[in-house]
Chain A
């Protein structure tokens, strides 16, 4: 049973780790990936692809081409680009922001709220809140945080992630970003599934779907 709670911790850590990988890579990347691989075998393959400090430059160039620009952004990391008409800050972005605001969070970095790093970090946050509720044995709150995770993934991240992953697979020049997005693309739907299982029998339709 101890292990089960550890699984939840691992979910939270994994979201945080993935979120960190969608910032401009720096010298700490190697350490971060190493730690993640140590605590979760899921990320072992990624650890093998982290370049040394010397090759960090090529990783940065690739990151920039894919997720920053400045020309054609090869793999826009923004939900609205996929969920709406190729623009940022659409209605779906407003909805993402209201998810954050619902948790009393405000975005403190200069970027669109539906950036993949933020959506992943938000999942991390919700998982930590789930754990907190678990600690207090508050079933109502626990349930609400599970529901929020599921709802956020279903409405946002999981909906556009496959197309994002595909764009990275087509355009990345480094194996690292191909593997990173591949793993992200596997992790999130699987987690959404797990999330649903926790919550499975609570209501008819979702249970039936499963």
Chain B
């Protein structure tokens, strides 16, 4: 004590001594006046860290992952070792999520717009408001629609989702009384599903049995950086390459091409030509898999170039229409013709095809979005996928597989809670114009059943079928992610009341009236998703593993519940009563607040996975708590060949001549009192007659005249794109060079040096890419990894309103350009999909 006293200076001691005498009088004046703090009742001691299970939705792999949490703070991530799909692996995207969740630019509180004018040049002038004010305003707007009997003018837009989606997307929209729940699926890769559906009756993405495969063709797919189950394929690719050859079909040198034996830099849009050309070679060389396809009655191959074959001479086993397909399409698609159309060496085409055929049935043709998401891409997807039928790898060991069975439950039906206003509102036509003559959108064989996401902008702008007055959107950014985004800017400006539920404000938020801060799915949310790979399916939980820093709510559960509460306060309690039906299976109790609702609805949907009394298959748990801690349920292993001759096609066979597509197209034509040929003409396809029902070649439909726009634009996705949400992460920019040909902190268009020299463009030159619908600025990169005559640029940069890192100078200068600005809004109308690839020509101009 004495020693301490000596340390006090004379001056301070004097002060202290005097203070002691006077503090009684003044002390009352300065008691701590606390606003941000409270005296802690139980002082926290430092907790040891813990790995907590959740799910990464940085891409559609949907890996089950774990987060290391210390004192409520996430510090690192890893794959969840309990998953049989991603088996403890995760990829770079998952690591980047740490920079997303702790992004200072996140939306922190509910906000409202104070500038009533909307437009790209109108600062919204957002200010914080309370949750109560935000929810009350939203409920008022919905009540107004209900009062005026115009609930169909309500719209829900959905981007990425978990399987809790139906609470907000489906049930709420229906009970309010609108047909207008519009998902993002058609800007994802729906056309890719068109191929397997109209051949094998599977409207879904596939999994690939790579460890048992002996030959793998990656077609416009780059699984080592994007597509599905990236972390799994990355982890087994070394082993895969030990016993399988890989050929990559892509106009640009992708990450997967860098590890492949063959790279086929095809002319963009000529995928259909290559597919039918390969089918021709497989048949003429006798390389079809006889146990699946069947054989000629006399065992002699009559598939001779240019010659038709009698259908009676061939007996099919598990397929339908191989001879019809040959006669209608394949017989003339010779290797010479194929080489000319595709711009690929004839020898390479032959070598790849023959080796692919010789490895049957352990040969995979992995069809990605590349060949499919084109104006006439549905048929290319069919043709490329049909190669799996020829080699018998469908549903087979070392082949292409569907999803395993799982046992999650649907949420309670909304029907009993839909009153007359809701029922009549729901009967109106949808804002994306699906099902009209020009948009067949034939999901799962039903005309007008697939979403036409990007066309909703035109529906809103033209008030066709009607105007939209109130819209809620979540986890989406259509003003950036859809081609010709300027249409969305105008469409959103036109909607009088727009609410955006989001983690980060984006180009979409710029047009919102109210912004609600949403949880980050991986760290702060209850939910679940399903995913396939490695011959398994997992159902993996999204769990709140950290304490959110800001006042955020769960987009798919808590927010709809809170809106339902407000609607009830205002006299409409149907939605709330419906949500109260989502009872906790453990206790039978209904939810009383948004937090209980978020948890009970998840336990409800996954009930049969964790309750031993309801066990149906796959992993078995003792109860919810054990499931929650594991974070993932795994299915039983894949049952090979169970679907042979048991497919969900009209014939139950693998259809080379698609009776299923014939029925769907005919139904659509009849609905519009016309012929299939007329439908195809209206929808920009070239096929007429029987060709409409078979996988066949269609010329690419490209926007722009070759003379004025000499290059074909090649769009692709980054291995760092967390579905277009990571551009504001410094690591995204820092590691951008990991995308082959790209540069850190930059956005480069890749030109082949042959073309660049002709244009006198040098590395690093500032250039403009100009198409018929728009232009963007970026830097030039001379790179041999693109086919001459094409310009490749990765999607992801070009944000003008995302955050401090994403734009070069916020609100003024984007970092590079958004590819969608130069891509015209066009569609593969049979699937409703937006065309991203092989769709536009561009010219390159030095700035």
Report which A residues bind B (CB closer than 8 A): 1-2, 4-6, 8-9, 12-13, 16, 19-20, 23-24, 57, 60-61, 64, 68-73, 76, 78, 81, 85-90, 94, 97, 100-101, 104-112, 115, 117-118, 121-122, 124-125, 127-129, 131-132, 134-137, 139-140, 142-143, 146, 198-203
Tell me whether B337 is interfacial, beta carbon within 8 Å: no
Given contacts A70-B505, A135-B24, contact A2 B18 (CB under 8 A): yes
CA distance A129 to B32 in the complex (A): 8
Tell me whether B615 is interfacial, beta carbon within 8 Å: no
CA distance A132 to B9 in the complex (A): 19
- Are A111 and B549 in contact, CB atoms less than 8 angstroms apart? yes
Given contacts A71-B105, A87-B103, A106-B40, contact A64 B30 (CB under 8 A): no
Main secondary structure of the interface of A (DSSP, over half): helix
How many Å from the CB of B342 to the closest CB on chain A?
Answer: 45
State which residues 195-237 of B face A: CB under 8 Å: none
- Are B44 and A139 in contact, CB atoms less than 8 angstroms apart? no
- Are A109 and B35 in contact, CB atoms less than 8 angstroms apart? yes
- Are B805 and A86 in contact, CB atoms less than 8 angstroms apart? yes
Tell me whether B613 is interfacial, beta carbon within 8 Å: no
Given contacts A57-B114, A199-B12, contact A72 B807 (CB under 8 A): yes
**Contact string against A for B residues 1-41, beta-carbon threshold 8 Å, 1 for contact and 0 otherwise:** 10011011101111111111011101101111111111110
Given contacts A105-B37, A140-B1, A202-B7, contact A1 B103 (CB under 8 A): no
- Are A68 and B128 in contact, CB atoms less than 8 angstroms apart? yes
A-B contact pairs, 24 of them (CB 8 A): A5-B19, A6-B26, A9-B29, A61-B126, A64-B111, A68-B128, A70-B106, A70-B111, A70-B504, A72-B804, A87-B103, A87-B104, A88-B104, A105-B38, A106-B40, A110-B550, A111-B549, A115-B36, A118-B37, A132-B27, A134-B16, A134-B19, A142-B12, A146-B12
- Are A71 and B19 in contact, CB atoms less than 8 angstroms apart? no
- Are B509 and A70 in contact, CB atoms less than 8 angstroms apart? yes
Tell me whether B107 is interfacial, beta carbon within 8 Å: yes
- Are B549 and A136 in contact, CB atoms less than 8 angstroms apart? no
Tell me whether B122 is interfacial, beta carbon within 8 Å: no
Tell me whether B43 is interfacial, beta carbon within 8 Å: yes
Given contacts A9-B30, A200-B9, contact A106 B44 (CB under 8 A): yes
CA distance A151 to B85 in the complex (A): 50
**Contact string against A for B residues 313-344, beta-carbon threshold 8 Å, 1 for contact and 0 otherwise:** 00000000000000000000000000000000
- Are B104 and A201 in contact, CB atoms less than 8 angstroms apart? no
- Are A71 and B36 in contact, CB atoms less than 8 angstroms apart? no
Given contacts A88-B549, A101-B44, A107-B37, contact A69 B9 (CB under 8 A): no
Tell me whether B81 is interfacial, beta carbon within 8 Å: no
What is the chain B residue whose CB lies nearest that of A86?
A: B730
Report which B residues bind A (CB closer than 8 A): 1, 4-5, 7-9, 11-20, 22-24, 26-27, 29-40, 43-44, 71, 73, 99, 102-109, 111, 114, 125-128, 504-505, 509-510, 515, 548-551, 730, 801-805, 807, 810-811
- Are A202 and B9 in contact, CB atoms less than 8 angstroms apart? yes
- Are A104 and B801 in contact, CB atoms less than 8 angstroms apart? no
- Are A131 and B127 in contact, CB atoms less than 8 angstroms apart? no
- Are B31 and A85 in contact, CB atoms less than 8 angstroms apart? no
CA distance A104 to B37 in the complex (A): 10
- Are B38 and A139 in contact, CB atoms less than 8 angstroms apart? no
Chain B residues, CB < 8 A from A97: 71
- Are A104 and B8 in contact, CB atoms less than 8 angstroms apart? no
Contact partner of A202 (CB less than 8 A), chosen from B8, B505, B801, B811, is B8
What is the chain A residue whose CB lies nearest that of B111?
A: A70
Given contacts A61-B126, A88-B549, A135-B23, 4 further A-B contacts (CB under 8 A): A69-B505, A104-B40, A140-B4, A202-B8
How many Å from the CB of A5 to the closest CB on chain B?
Answer: 5
